[in-house]
Amino acid sequence: MARVIERTAKNGAKSWLVKWRIGGGRNSKEDFETCYDRQVADDFASLVTLSGENRPHGYPKGCHGIEDPNYDPMQDLEMPSFEQYARHNYATRLGASPTQRATYLAEAERHIFPHFGHLPLDQVTRRVLREWVEWMLTKPSAGNQHQPRAALSDEQAARRWARANNIAVKATGRISPEMLRQWEEAGSPRPAPPDAGTLSAATVAKMYRGAIKPVFQAALHQGEDGEPPLLASSPCTAFRLPTAAVTARAVLYGPEVALYLKAVHDIDPDTALFIITEMATGLRWGETAGLHVTHLDPAGRQLHIVQTYAYLLDETTGRRRWQIKPYPKGKKQRSVPISPTLAALLTRRTEGCHADQPLFRSRTGSYIDYNNQRNRILKPTLTLARERGLAKHITPHALRHTMITMLRDGGVAPGIMQLIAGHASYQTTATYSSHHTPAQRTLILNAVQSIITAASALFDLPTP
């Protein structure tokens, strides 16, 4: 506890010494301040006590118990490091789901904290952010030290060798001892490890917008109990990320649609209906897998999208697993119209099913397993489709792009496109107008045909 000691100089002048042990510990160092007024000394001693036996903020050494008029309270606030403040920010983002918060933290622990997480929040400048971006663009994108690839077994290596040499071999399961013997006689060759590449500019931008920029935005606002902002400005202001390369979406056009669907049907007819539904409605894979029997309205010829099947964090175990999320992406339910033919096909599928069962079920009656569908059906489908002439890499999400592109080519109003697609922002829907399609190409050429006709009268045009 701070003590006030009265002292008298030789000339009779009085002063009062405020003395205390820093932090209140018995063996702590002593601090003191001289005051020239008893009331000032008593007030200063009270401030020391309220500050936990520490020098009060705004009363530097030699202040004689009077507050510094030029004191800025922002200067003496204990500035947390970026990592300390970011961890608190991720944990208290009420608008984010537990899975999103866990994703932000995992990305920061792997890619952000090692670079500038130790810096105080106010020492992270635009230069620091620029150096972080340059560092990120040199990091391997896969198969790095955090995610090493599992070594191939002898059977896996033998199967890849057989395929590379056009030797017939089963796609799954154990291979014959004869095949293993041939592989060993060939020197037991193993494929070279794939080039991991580096992180893309788009991936870096995603981490910046999700795990860095919101942290500084939060530091510009008052605390929950009215504490002053930690920062007066953000290094993200006027900071520019490198431009990411824009790639065209893989979309099926015209005869490619029938070619792909025929390949799916030849591999697995049940999955073919799943893919047709996904393509004809523009649903995300998880929205299609999460459909229940009650979500089908055959009389109104529509599907009600009220939930999704997603790979989410289980807060009980701390690990992720596939489970139902009680709302679709964007947290907005919607209804999507379907044709009478599709309504009839889906109605036939619901015969003998309970209302709370999934519309598309696995052989065990549970929800479709994403990895199982991808590995057993969709990958062989793509291989078969390529053998038949399809030159595109089609993923489940590419089927959604196909449907939305068809809406645009069909002249559907942009607002209706956004509603059907379930986009939270029209800017996302507008990106489907960034590339012209074969249908749009025909419209463009027809529109300028009068110019070509006029040119034919001026030049001796070659026959196309």
Cα–Cα distance measured from residue 204 to residue 136, given in angstroms and rounded to the nearest whole number: 7
- Which pLDDT belongs to residue 37? 93
- Which pLDDT belongs to residue 232? 87
Q: Which domains does the chain have, with CATH numbers?
A: 3-76 (no CATH), 81-149+193-245 (1.10.150), 154-185 (no CATH), 255-433 (1.10.443.10)
Cα–Cα distance measured from residue 37 to residue 457, given in angstroms and rounded to the nearest whole number: 105
- Which pLDDT belongs to residue 436? 60
Query: Per residue in 415-433, pLDDT tens?
Result: 777 777 787 776 676 666 6
- Which pLDDT belongs to residue 105? 92
Query: Per residue in 302-316, pLDDT tens?
Result: 999 999 999 998 888
Those residues with Cβ within 8 angstroms of residue 186's Cβ, 6 or more apart along the chain or in another chain? 161
- Which pLDDT belongs to residue 89? 92
pTM: 0.66
Place of tokens 């990091």: 139
Q: CA quadruple 256, 262, 267, 268: dihedral positive or negative? A: positive
- Collect the ranges in the chain with pLDDT lower than 70: 70-77, 142-150, 171-172, 193-196, 246, 426-427, 429-437, 439-441, 443-445, 448, 450-452, 454-456, 458-464
Nearest one of 33, 30, 25, 24 to 5, comparing CA atoms:
33
